[in-house]
Structure 1
Amino acid sequence: MSRSAPKLSEAARHLLIPSGIVSSEWPRVRQLAQALLGIEFDYWQDALGMLILAKRADGRYAAGIGGVVMSLCRQVGKTFLIGSMVFMLCILHPGLLVLWTAHRSRTSDETFGDMRSMARRKGARRRIARIRSANGQQEVAFANGSRILFGARERGFGRGFKGVGIVILDEAQILTETAMSDMVPAMNTADNGLLIMMGTPPKPGDPSEAFTIRRQEALAGTDDMLYLEFSADPDADPDDRKQWAMANPSYPKRTPASSILRLQKQLSPDSFRREGLGIWDTVAASSAIDPAQWRMAATDEPDTAGQVGYAIDMPPDRSSLAIGGCVKHADGSAHIELKAFESTRSKGSAWAVDWIADRWPHTAAVVIDGQSPAMALLPDLKARHVKVITTSAPDMGRACGRMLDMLRDGKLTHLADGKQPALDIAVANATTRNIGGSGAVGWNKLGSDIDISPLIAVTLALYGTAVTKRDPNRKQRLIR
């Protein structure tokens, strides 16, 4: 590295480094890349490679738990860096299995093409057993048994693999928690696995909750994760070439001005801010629930004695069904839980009617919002003699306000983090929307692919126990 080159921590807008680093595998990778293919890395690539492959004293990757998360603009060279890295790791570690996924087939195809070209170069050719380029089965197989497989998440690639050592999640700005849950189990049997997530700042409407949540965690100071973000100033002049250099560490040495000008010409001003300058949008909406208050309300030993209420909700696309539960205690406090959360595509919705009807004799309230697709269950519930409270928009405002007040006052509990991931995700990603002109608010979702029905269900269950006049006249316990 040149002495004039800035430190990565000085050049990057945000850099979160995991603790406990004592060594790195990067020098071996860099040396092999130079010897085989004559590759020279820029200062920021060299420093980043050192951190990505950093290890703790036990020999495991320092970012092996939280993963590597990178927010970088286009035309910066991130694919070249990570592609060269995993290529050399496959040579150094016989039998290593790497999955490289992107959201779109086009991006996956382009990355495979770059890797295929690398494999065909003279210095690497004898290390390669075969290159498979059939559609949907793109693979670079090494003579030592290592493999790099390429595919698009939009086609379901990544599910069902086992023993994966490295997972690359390209185009992370279009990555849902559902897709993450499909991919991460592939690494469960890996002795020292590594997950790398990289993308540009998402645009409004992108299903980007996985990327957004991990950025929020990084900025909050979590450990066990490596987070890097290059970006221009939030109020940057898009024509200011000093801002280009802040956003793109490869400019002007690797990325010429003509490339950035071409990108600026092709994109709208807002898109260029995100994809050309790496600037994240400022979320104008207020966060629905204070994360600190939500953490304070978590419990491992809930009080489940009291008046029981349930609520049902479904998202607009009817893809899932959530049943929320609440126990109202004699002192006015309450405990909420997500009792059931199922995909309607695989399980349908009739099961929910049976679930509620079985518990109705000992239930004080069952609630469904009048605008929810779950209203389709109302005739079947009535046929089973279940009396349903249907709520209006003002009722929803009162329900959300009650939940916020009880959280603030320490009168509400929920199961500890990690025990109800669907509810935790909904809480982390929900924002508020105004209801009427009196200051009432309701829950709104941050992105188009975020399902907040678990949060709505527990909110309405809490509301139901507060307004119901039904009393089964016995001590009840919420069945867990």
Structure 2
Amino acid sequence: EDIGLPLLPWQRYVMQDMLTIDKNKMFVRKTNLLLTSRQQGKSHLARMRILAGLFLFNERNHVVISSARSMALTTFREVAQAIEDAPILKKELKSIRYANGNEAIVLKSGARLDVRAATRDSPRGATADFLFIDELREVDQVAFAAAMPVTRARPNAQTLLASNAGDAFSVTLNELRERCLAHPPESLGYYEYSAPQFAALDDRKAWAMANPALGILVTEASIQEALTTQTTEQFRTETLCQWIDSLQSPWPHGSVEDASDINLKMAPGPLTVFAFDVSPSRRDASLVMGQLLPDGRIGVAVLDTYSSQVAVDELAIAASIKKWADMYYPRMVCYDKYTTASIAQRLQNAGVQTRDVSGQSFYTACSDFHDALVNDRLRHSGQDLLIQQMANCAAKITPDAWRIVRRKSAGPVDIPIGLAMVIHILAQPVSEAKVYV
């Protein structure tokens, strides 16, 4: 308040807990993780903590790191502006350097603030009483491992890590959050403002839970606009602070869950198609099936999965598929000639009818998959692995079509790839036999 930069109620709550001291006047919270939606004032909280360290706590070294150097520089400039605008602070200022790569604020007391990049080498050699890492979701494990030791040489040092929710690729953030949720030590401060994981996107109570500055910095109207203009994945991570598996999911929100039917039964007899696929690592593979149901919909399921620490056994996979084929008598077994041609060749030698669904055909297959899912023409039994791999999916989009991509997805997607193939075949018109007398 003295310098005209008051804290919001939620910021005051977090700051009071984060700055708790023990009987030896040492900080109880050594490492602090703050998670909330964007535009809530995370950077302002960090700025005020930096100013407190520089002018009140006699901390000598402060370091700011972000996944993008421009974001770290924004925090740096905000701190510099706050000092220059407040006479009570400016009189303690020695210099501010804005030179590219050498940005620093130095006080007459010797206390200073420096900017470092989130890289393997940038933080090395630095020592800090306070470390602020912004956008942790974008910081990789190598950069994080290099940054964290900078506070070890100072017995009363603190670290503040800030972010909104991430996806399956946010490994650093995800691992730290898991530790925070699993009975963390007293030295680990954890502050999360997020909507319940399965809250409806238009649930205004969920908006308030994920946006502690609602009504002050952001309005319901601005959130409504974000809901209209952002993708579902962006809205969930950036506005609701909800965790997702892939930021590029091709499936409409909730569509996979809506297609689940725990009573789905698929026995031998109806028109059936199989498909199989192998992951890029060659460590995982799966066999899926699809059937035309009596109501005209397509039922799908995972028949078998295969895994290995090194590489799956193609001979064993072919033998397994032949066993299932002898049980269900599929019209054909689909595959991708660029990844599984050798297995398909073994099946052909065993008398199993196969069909390649790759290249442009796979683009069409993915469109058929999406169309069946969103138009309520698809049913699955809710198998955990099927749902998880559907959540892993990422899409490659071209001006005319899209397809599931293996390497940019958040995990294995051999099951959805197989499902796209069987749906593509079963979605085609079925000829009916006619007898003319």
- How high is the TM-score relative to the length of structure 2? 0.55
Residue 146 (1) aligns with residue 83 (2): no
Cα deviation, 1:14-54, whole Å, max 9, x if unaligned, reads xxxxxxxxxxxxxxxxxxxx22x033222211111011111
- Is the 2:59–2:129 Cα contact (8 Å) retained in structure 1? no
The number of aligned residues is 267
Supply the AA of the counterpart residue of 1:61: F
Residue 267 (1) aligns with residue 227 (2): no
| Match among 147, 150, 157 for residue 183 of structure 1 | 147
Residue equivalent to 2:36: 72
- Is the 2:66–2:139 Cα contact (8 Å) retained in structure 1? no
Residue equivalent to 2:204: 241
| Match among 383, 387, 394 for residue 313 of structure 2 | 394
SS at match of 2:174: helix
Residue equivalent to 1:195: 159
| Match among 116, 124, 128 for residue 80 of structure 2 | 116
Structure 2 distance, partners of 1:260, 1:115, is 28
Residue equivalent to 1:303: none
Cα deviation, 1:70-121, whole Å, max 9, x if unaligned, reads 1111011111012112112211233520111000122122222222221211
Residue 254 (1) aligns with residue 217 (2): yes
Residue equivalent to 1:305: none
Residue 39 (1) aligns with residue 2 (2): no
Residue equivalent to 1:86: 50
Residue equivalent to 1:50: 16
The alpha-carbon deviation at position 391 of structure 1 amounts to: 5.3
Residue 130 (1) aligns with residue 95 (2): yes
Structure 1 distance, partners of 2:68, 2:18, is 25
Structure 2 distance, partners of 1:370, 1:240, is 42
The alpha-carbon deviation at position 136 of structure 1 amounts to: 1.7
Supply the AA of the counterpart residue of 2:180: A
Structure 2 distance, partners of 1:61, 1:122, is 27
SS at match of 2:28: coil
Residue equivalent to 2:25: 59
Residue 100 (1) aligns with residue 64 (2): yes
Q: 1:261 to 1:146 in 2, by over 3 A?
A: farther
The alpha-carbon deviation at position 258 of structure 1 amounts to: 4.7
Q: 1:265 to 1:156 in 2, by over 3 A?
A: farther
Structure 1 distance, partners of 2:4, 2:121, is 36
Supply the AA of the counterpart residue of 1:91: F
SS at match of 2:234: helix
The alpha-carbon deviation at position 447 of structure 1 amounts to: 9.8
Q: 1:46 to 1:447 in 2, by over 3 A?
A: farther
The alpha-carbon deviation at position 128 of structure 1 amounts to: 1.7
SS at match of 1:86: helix
Structure 2 distance, partners of 1:117, 1:236, is 40
Structure 2 distance, partners of 1:186, 1:263, is 38
The alpha-carbon deviation at position 175 of structure 1 amounts to: 2.1
Residue equivalent to 1:13: none
Structure 2 distance, partners of 1:255, 1:217, is 31
The alpha-carbon deviation at position 60 of structure 1 amounts to: 2.0
Residue equivalent to 1:227: 190
> Whose Rg is larger?
2
The alpha-carbon deviation at position 370 of structure 1 amounts to: 8.4
Residue equivalent to 1:20: none
Structure 2 distance, partners of 1:91, 1:446, is 49
Q: How does 1:238-317 map to 2 (within 5 A)?
A: 238-281=201-244
Q: Which has the higher contact order (CA 8 A, sep 6+)?
A: 1
- Is the 2:167–2:245 Cα contact (8 Å) retained in structure 1? no
- Is the 1:75–1:259 Cα contact (8 Å) retained in structure 2? no
- Is the 1:137–1:151 Cα contact (8 Å) retained in structure 2? no
Residue equivalent to 1:167: 131
| Match among 208, 211, 222 for residue 173 of structure 2 | 211
Structure 1 distance, partners of 2:112, 2:408, is 35
Residue equivalent to 2:122: 157
Structure 1 distance, partners of 2:15, 2:64, is 18
Structure 1 distance, partners of 2:409, 2:27, is 34
Supply the AA of the counterpart residue of 2:171: E
SS at match of 1:134: coil
- Is the 2:53–2:59 Cα contact (8 Å) retained in structure 1? no
| Structure 2: gaps (5+ residues) | 247-279, 284-308, 318-383, 387-405, 412-437
Supply the AA of the counterpart residue of 1:144: S
| Structure 1: gaps (5+ residues) | 1-33, 284-315, 317-368, 372-389, 399-431, 435-444, 451-480
Q: 1:95 to 1:240 in 2, by over 3 A?
A: closer
The alpha-carbon deviation at position 134 of structure 1 amounts to: 1.3
Structure 2 distance, partners of 1:110, 1:258, is 27
SS at match of 1:195: strand
Cα deviation, 1:262-308, whole Å, max 9, x if unaligned, reads 5445531211111111111269xxxxxxxxxxxxxxxxxxxxxxxxx
- Is the 1:159–1:183 Cα contact (8 Å) retained in structure 2? yes
